[in-house]
Amino acid sequence: MRNFFRGIIRASSFFRKEIFEILRQPRLVATLIVGPFLILFIFGIGYRAEGRTLRTLLVVQSDSPIAAQDIQQSGETMGAQLTYAGATGNQAEALDQLQRGQVDLVIVEPGKITSTLQNNQQAVFTLYHHEIDPVRVSYITYLGWLFAGEVNQQVLRSFVAQGQTDAVDVQTSLQAAHQNVSAVRLAVQSGDEALAKQKQQGLAGNVDVVSTAVGASLLLLDSVQQTQVTSGGNTNQVRSVLADLRQNTQQLSDSPGSSDERLARLDKIDQDLTDLEGQLAEFQSIDPSIIVSPFRSETKSVANVQPSISDFFAPAVLALLLQHLAVTFAALSIVRERNVGTMELFRVSPLSAAEALFGKYISYLLFGGAIAAILAVLLVFALHVPMLGNWGYFALVIAAILFTSLGIGFVISIVSQTDSQAVQYSMIVLLASVFFSGFILSLDMLWEPVRVISWLLPTTYGTLLLRDIALSGSDPNWALLGGLIAIGLVLMLISWRLMRRLIASSQ
Amino acid sequence: MKQATPPEPSQMQPVQANNSVISAQHLTKKFGAETAVQDVSFDVFGSSIFGFIGPSGSGKTTTVRLLTGVYTPTEGQVTVLNCSPAKFSQSDRARLGYMPQLFVLYPNLTVWENLNFAASLYGMGLFRRKRLKEVLTFVELYEHRSKLARNISGGMLRRLSLATTLVHDPELLFLDEPTAGIDPVLRHKFWDHFRELKSQGRTIFITTQYVSEADNCDLVGVQNQGKLLLVDTPQGIRHHAYGGDMVDFSTTEPFDFQAEAKLRLLSFVRDKTVRTGFNSMRIIVDEASTATPELMEWAQQQNIQVQAVEEYRPSFEDVFVELVRPEVSHA
């Protein structure tokens, strides 16, 4: 028991020493608190969730069937991503402007569009840029895809608008058809077969015109309706009305039947014509943009909170900062003892490796915990980062991050020969954390074998756990937390064995 | 000085005077092709001060590190407190005090915090303020206890280092040049304290470059170029350096060459005599105490008026140079 208490006293020597040494560097402490807070604060007010605006020059073809205005309009409908910098017919001059940096993007309209389409091929808009950043290249590629879609929609809108204009002529034919139906009905009722036959021929002509003219326009609407099949939409309505109309008109001429039958058929034809008029009126009343793009999407989250970008990154920043703080402090701790020469003193003294490590673990855990507490309070109450979960769980995860990170630091410290070596190793851990912990890139974007590195880093666990607690308000994922602590325990065991060898071994 | 915390009970035999506390047998330490310590053998007895003197780079610090277990000998054996340093237990280590040659504590801690750290390192209890104050007062640092170690002078650092070694009142002290950079007055005080520790039954193994300090030791080992030239009492070392004791012999009349030749023929006089003036000469004899009356008698027989006959004790600097000279010329 006496030895146990002496061991505690020996360990406590490091606790006091480390804390005093850190507190003797107030600038360091202030930097550790103010630095991350300011970074998040400035990031929060400075981040704009908008793509980069590209100054865009159009190269239009002289024989283009698409109006340059339509192309420009397509670009403008895409929002702030593209700013129209003008149009030119000279591609070489446009590319020269791109090289000089006067514009960011050159969109070249495809040549010989008609013949290309006739050859059953798509005409291609080519987008020239001078980006080398793969992310920005992907952005421009995506922008090109959106742009082509917009142009296609613009073409379709023009086509639909033209169809709506043409529908006015179809209305005239429908009215003529109605008049011929009435005339045939009167002729049949009066027994004037010659007049009836004459008017039937006129009706047949009207139906042919309507079938041809209405078909293209109304079938477009019909296609839209077909997409609603699952919701009980009226499918094939226009198609069947037109078919009925042609069939009844044909039978009226080919096999007239009795007067009653003919009158009944005329009533059916009249009804179909009225239906078509209704359909046509509906078609004319719909905005061409709606017909071309009948659907759009909306996203709604069932999460408890909709965090801003800075809110979302806050737990990751906290986890990364605490990991880096713990790794760096621990990494410098033992290598500095060795360089100063105190290790020689320790070898002669009754100090054991476990006591030295225990003292250092406790001191850095408490110091890191204090920094984490101040930062967490600042994040939640000054930056208004949501904290939906349990503070106790939050503190538990912080302790686990610090514990495991200290293990990494102590292993680094014991295997390093110099301060600069320890700092270099710590920076490598930081760099690995930035790339592999999901801090910037989602873990899903990494090749699975590479994710092994991710799952060795405390930041990976910390980011996921802290986000779950703070932003989702859920309990920690116990498997993740267990994994983090297990890694910490393994690292503690390794550092203890290495430290024991370091203190005990003679040269 | 009052003992603040008694040393932990050890599994080893308690130290007693005339018992060998440190025993080094044919110790050799090599670093690659370089031999730092070669075939060194000596014993240090309980309640004594063993001085280890030698020039810089002679292997003194390496020897201390071999004795404390920091280094493992390449050849030979060492036992400290009847135990191999490689097998020291925690309680064994608690009986040792070690002051390294350089200051190895923390520049960002105050004098008091550094001493407190060292006290904790040896498991001293929480009620140790009095002891800390005592030690700091002894090394004349109590007034500077709130200063950061980085802001005090080199001499003060040495004193702080000594304080951290003494704070737990160890049984066996290894002091590697404790008086380097210390002013003569304080150095004298330190030696007074070391002698007091010795009288309390402590054993001290001390290295120093101030060879004059060897006079304060019970036994002195002279080390040069990794080899232990000899181990003896301070007087024995002087005797060994000059081949005997030295006596200054002066007369009222000038001393002629015939008389000098007769003097050299005396049985107790060694070959070497040195004229230090017309009327005086320094004579090396077997034993100063017996040679002095015989010289007086011889002078009377020769009708030589003697002014003074007295033993000359050369400084240890001179003794050391005399001892090391053949080694250097041989090298």
Q: Is B121 close to A341, i.e. CB distance below 8 A?
A: no
Residue B125 gets the label, from left (phi > 0), alpha (psi -120 to 50) or beta, of beta
Report the pLDDT averaged over residues B101-110: 88
Residues of B whose CB is below 8 A from A5:
123
Residue owning tokens 């023929």: B265
What per-residue confidence (pLDDT) applies to A86?
Answer: 85
Question: Which percentage of chain A shows pLDDT scores above 90?
Answer: 35
Q: What is the pLDDT of residues A421-439, one digit of tens each?
A: 999 999 999 999 999 998 8
Residues of B whose CB is below 8 A from A13:
116-117, 119-121
Give the torsion sign (CA, A153, A154, A159, A160). Answer: positive
Contacts of B22 (CB under 8 A, 6+ apart): B42, B43, B44, B50, B67, B78, B79, B80, B172, B203, B205
Task: Tell whether the model's pLDDT for residue B42 goes beyond 90.
Answer: yes
Residue B228 gets the label, from left (phi > 0), alpha (psi -120 to 50) or beta, of beta
CA distance B242 to B240: 6
Residues of B whose CB is below 8 A from A9:
120, 123-126
What per-residue confidence (pLDDT) applies to A429?
Answer: 95
What per-residue confidence (pLDDT) applies to A236?
Answer: 61
Distance from CA of B62 to the nearest CA of A (A): 11
Q: How many CB atoms lie within 10 A of CB B39?
A: 14
Q: Of the residues A96, A128, A156, which one is the last residue of a structural domain?
A: A156
Most confident of A91-105, A146-160, A279-293, A304-318: A91-105
A300: exposed, middle or buried (C-beta count within 10 Å: 0-12, 13-18, 19+)? exposed
What per-residue confidence (pLDDT) applies to A235?
Answer: 43
> For residue B246, what are its two tokens?
């030295």
Q: Is B100 close to A21, i.e. CB distance below 8 A?
A: no
Q: Which of A481, A502, A266 is nearest to A394 (CA)?
A: A481
What is the CB-side half-sphere exposure of residue B53 using CA atoms within 13 A? 29
CB B172 within 8 A of CB B15: yes
- Judge whether A411 lies within some domain: yes
What per-residue confidence (pLDDT) applies to B16?
Answer: 52
Contacts of A36 (CB under 8 A, 6+ apart): A317, A318, A321, A375
Q: What is the pLDDT of residues B191-212, one digit of tens each?
A: 998 998 999 899 999 998 787 7
Could you give the C-alpha distances from B137 to A105, B7, B140, in angstroms and in order? 80, 22, 5
Whether residue A133 is found in the same domain as residue A184 = no
Angle at A498 between CA A492 and CA A502, to 5 degrees: 135
Q: What is the DSSP letter of A379?
A: I
Whether residue A271 is found in the same domain as residue A317 = no
In this complex, the residue of B68, B123, B126 whose CB is nearest that of residue A348 is: B68
> For residue B281, what are its two tokens?
């000469």
CA distance A316 to A440: 9
Most confident of A28-42, B59-73, B227-241: B59-73
CA distance A91 to A108: 7
Q: Is B68 close to A506, i.e. CB distance below 8 A?
A: no
The pair phi, psi for residue B144, each rounded to 5°, is: -105, 15
In this complex, the residue of B72, B121, B174 whose CB is nearest that of residue A10 is: B121
Q: Which of A310, A315, A307, A319 is nearest to A454 (CA)?
A: A319
Q: How many CB atoms lie within 10 A of CB A370?
A: 14
Whether residue A409 is found in the same domain as residue A500 = yes
- Judge whether A311 lies within some domain: yes
CA distance B65 to B72: 8
- Judge whether A438 lies within some domain: yes
Question: Beta A105-108 vs A54-59: how paired, if at all?
Answer: parallel
- Judge whether A310 lies within some domain: yes
CA distance B225 to B328: 9
Which of these ranges, A157-166, A227-236, B197-206, B279-288, has the smallest mean pLDDT?
A227-236
pTM: 0.73
Report the pLDDT averaged over residues B271-293: 85
- Judge whether A22 lies within some domain: no
Find which of B5, B106, B172 to mutate to test the A interface (most A CBs within 10 Å of its CB): B106
Q: Of the residues A248, A270, A292, which one is the last residue of a structural domain?
A: A292
Confidence of residue A150 (pLDDT cuts 50, 70, 90): confident
Q: Could you tell me which chain B residue has the CA closest to the CA of A14?
A: B117
What per-residue confidence (pLDDT) applies to B129?
Answer: 92
Whether residue A311 is found in the same domain as residue A446 = yes
Which of these ranges, A148-162, A441-455, B21-35, has the smallest mean pLDDT?
A148-162
B13 or A395: which leads in pLDDT: A395
Rounded to a whole number, what is the largest CA-CA distance in chain B?
77
Confidence of residue A126 (pLDDT cuts 50, 70, 90): very high
B238 or A504: which leads in pLDDT: B238
* Ordered alpha helix ranges (H), B41-99: 60-68, 90-93
Q: Is A10 close to B98, i.e. CB distance below 8 A?
A: no
Q: Is A13 close to B86, i.e. CB distance below 8 A?
A: no
What per-residue confidence (pLDDT) applies to A309?
Answer: 83
Which CATH number covers residue A211? Answer: 1.20.120.660
Which of these ranges, A371-380, B7-16, B110-119, has the smallest mean pLDDT?
B7-16
Q: What is the pLDDT of residues A175-198, one digit of tens each?
A: 888 998 999 888 888 888 888 888
Task: Tell whether the model's pLDDT for residue A67 goes beyond 80.
Answer: no
Task: Tell whether the model's pLDDT for residue A116 goes beyond 70.
Answer: yes
What per-residue confidence (pLDDT) applies to A467?
Answer: 93
Whether residue A148 is found in the same domain as residue A195 = no
- Judge whether A45 lies within some domain: no
Average pLDDT for chain B:
86
Task: Tell whether the model's pLDDT for residue B13 goes beyond 50.
Answer: no
CB A78 within 8 A of CB A143: yes
Give the torsion sign (CA, A451, A456, A462, A465). Answer: positive
Q: What is the DSSP letter of A80?
A: G
* Domains identified in chain A, total number: 3
Provide the 3-class DSSP secondary structure of residue B106: coil
Whether residue A452 is found in the same domain as residue A434 = yes
CB A109 within 8 A of CB A88: no
What per-residue confidence (pLDDT) applies to A369?
Answer: 95
What is the CB-side half-sphere exposure of residue A217 using CA atoms within 13 A? 29
Q: Which of B277, B287, B291, B284 is nearest to B314 (CA)?
A: B284
Q: How many CB atoms lie within 10 A of CB A282?
A: 11
Report the pLDDT averaged over residues A299-321: 85
Whether residue A147 is found in the same domain as residue A168 = no
Provide the 3-class DSSP secondary structure of residue B310: strand
Q: Is A21 close to B105, i.e. CB distance below 8 A?
A: no
What per-residue confidence (pLDDT) applies to B14?
Answer: 45
CB A320 within 8 A of CB A459: yes
CA distance A264 to A250: 14
CA distance B318 to B230: 16
Report the pLDDT averaged over residues B177-201: 88
Whether residue A351 is found in the same domain as residue A212 = no
State the amino acid at position A290 in one-letter form: I
- Judge whether A91 lies within some domain: yes
Which of these ranges, A20-24, A209-213, A343-347, B176-180, has the smallest mean pLDDT?
A209-213
The ipTM, to two decimals, is 0.80
Confidence of residue A82 (pLDDT cuts 50, 70, 90): confident
- Judge whether A44 lies within some domain: no
> For residue B201, what are its two tokens?
């039954």
Contacts of A16 (CB under 8 A, 6+ apart): A363, B113, B116, B117, B120
In this complex, the residue of A344, A351, A352 whose CB is nearest that of residue B104 is: A344
Whether residue A339 is found in the same domain as residue A478 = yes
What per-residue confidence (pLDDT) applies to A325?
Answer: 92
Interface of A with B (CB under 8 A): 3, 5-7, 9-10, 12-13, 16-17, 20-21, 24-25, 340-342, 344-352, 506-507
Task: Tell whether the model's pLDDT for residue B171 goes beyond 90.
Answer: yes
What per-residue confidence (pLDDT) applies to B163?
Answer: 95
What chain B holds in terms of domains, given with CATH numbers, is: 20-238 (3.40.50.300), 243-330 (3.30.70.1560)
B261 or B61: which leads in pLDDT: B61
Provide the 3-class DSSP secondary structure of residue B45: strand
Report the pLDDT averaged over residues A108-119: 86
Task: Tell whether the model's pLDDT for residue B300 goes beyond 80.
Answer: yes
Distance from CA of B217 to the nearest CA of A (A): 24
Q: Of the residues A114, A137, A156, which one is the last residue of a structural domain?
A: A156
Where is B30: in which H helix or E strand?
Answer: strand B20-31
Average pLDDT for chain A:
86
What DSSP line would sit under B196-244, residue for residue?
A: HHHHTT-EEEEEES-GGGGGG-SEEEEEETTEEEEEE-HHHHHHHHHTS
What per-residue confidence (pLDDT) applies to B276?
Answer: 84
Whether residue A316 is found in the same domain as residue A435 = yes
Whether residue A77 is found in the same domain as residue A171 = no
Whether residue A257 is found in the same domain as residue A347 = no
What per-residue confidence (pLDDT) applies to A233?
Answer: 42
What per-residue confidence (pLDDT) applies to A490?
Answer: 98
CA distance B175 to B206: 5
Q: What is the pLDDT of residues A354-384, one digit of tens each?
A: 999 999 999 999 999 999 999 999 889 988 8
What per-residue confidence (pLDDT) applies to A352?
Answer: 92
Question: Beta B75-80 vs B20-31: how paired, if at all?
Answer: antiparallel
> For residue B174, what are its two tokens?
């290894």
What per-residue confidence (pLDDT) applies to A207?
Answer: 86
Q: What is the DSSP letter of B11?
A: S
CA distance A310 to A317: 10
What per-residue confidence (pLDDT) applies to A293?
Answer: 81
Quote the domain boundaries for residue A169. 164-292
Q: Is A16 close to B91, i.e. CB distance below 8 A?
A: no
A50 or A178: which leads in pLDDT: A178
